[in-house]
C-alpha cells in the first residue's frame, strides 16, 4: 500500500482500534486459558488464541509502518480483557464460549463497517489493508461458529450475557478509535 494520498485520519483510527481489539482478544483468551486451559476445551481456546496472536502481530507491524500510536487505554484493556475472559470462563466452558460468540460477532460487524468505509473511499488504494481486515474478519467469524458449536447458548443467562458483552465491545471500539 502506497502512503500517497491516503486518508490518514481513517487509517490511523482503523489501525489503532483494530490493534486495541486484537490486544483485548488476546487478553480475553489468556483469561479463559487461565481458568480452562487444562480442560477438554483448552485446546480449542488455545487454537483461537494462536490466531489472535497472529492478528495482534500484524497490527503491531501496521502500527509501526503507519506510525500509529496505540490507544491510551491499553492498560485498561489489559485488565478488563483478562477479567472478562477469566470471569466468563468461571461460568464454565459455555460461559467462555458465550463470551467468544459475543465478542467475535461484534468484531466481525466492526470489521465489516471498516471494509465498507475503505471500499467506498478507494478499494484499490487500500487493497492491502482490506485483505488483512477481510482475512481477520473471516477468522473471527470462525471463532464465533466454534463458540456456538461448543454450547455457548447453554451459558447461564446467555442472551443477557451476550448483550452486556456486546455493549462493552461497542464502548471499547468507540473509545479506542478516539483515545
Q: Is the pLDDT of residue 131 over 60?
A: yes
110 is in an annotated binding site: no
Q: What does the pLDDT look like over 22-49, one tens digit per residue?
A: 999 999 999 999 999 999 999 999 999 9
CATH number of 8-177: 1.20.1260
Closest CA to 99 of 55, 143, 56, 59: 143
140 is in an annotated binding site: yes
61 is in an annotated binding site: no
At 5 the pLDDT is 81
At 6 the pLDDT is 86
What residue ranges do the domains of the chain occupy? 8-177
Q: What radius of gyration, in Å, describes the C-alpha atoms of the chain?
A: 16
Q: What does the pLDDT look like over 64-117, one tens digit per residue?
A: 999 999 999 999 999 999 999 999 999 999 999 999 999 999 999 999 999 999
**92 vs 35: CA distance, rounded Å:** 9
Q: What does the pLDDT look like over 144-176, one tens digit per residue?
A: 999 999 999 999 999 999 999 999 999 999 999
94 is in an annotated binding site: no
**84 vs 30: CA distance, rounded Å:** 10
104 is in an annotated binding site: yes
22 is in an annotated binding site: yes
Closest CA to 91 of 14, 25, 165: 165
Residue 10 burial (CB count, 10 A): 15
Amino acid at each position: 500500500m502506497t502512503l500517497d494520498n491516503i486518508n490518514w485520519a481513517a487509517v490511523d483510527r482503523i489501525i489503532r482500534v483494530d490493534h486495541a481489539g486484537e490486544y483485548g482478544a488476546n487478553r480475553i483468551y489468556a483469561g479463559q486459558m487461565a481458568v480452562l486451559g487444562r480442560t477438554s476445551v483448552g485446546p480449542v481456546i488455545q487454537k483461537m488464541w494462536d490466531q489472535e496472536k497472529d492478528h495482534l502481530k500484524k497490527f503491531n507491524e501496521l502500527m509501526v509502518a503507519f506510525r500509529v500510536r496505540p490507544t491510551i487505554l491499553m492498560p485498561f484493556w489489559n485488565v478488563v480483557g483478562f477479567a472478562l475472559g477469566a470471569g466468563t470462563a468461571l461460568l464454565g466452558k459455555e460461559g467462555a464460549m458465550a463470551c467468544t460468540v459475543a465478542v467475535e460477532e461484534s468484531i466481525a460487524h466492526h470489521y465489516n463497517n471498516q471494509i465498507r468505509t475503505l471500499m467506498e473511499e478507494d478499494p484499490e488504494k487500500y487493497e492491502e489493508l482490506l485483505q488483512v481486515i477481510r482475512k481477520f474478519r473471516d477468522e473471527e467469524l470462525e471463532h464465533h461458529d466454534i463458540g456456538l458449536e461448543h454450547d455457548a447458548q447453554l451459558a447461564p443467562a446467555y442472551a443477557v450475557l451476550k448483550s452486556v458483552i456486546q455493549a462493552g465491545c461497542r464502548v471499547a471500539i468507540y473509545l479506542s478509535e478516539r483515545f
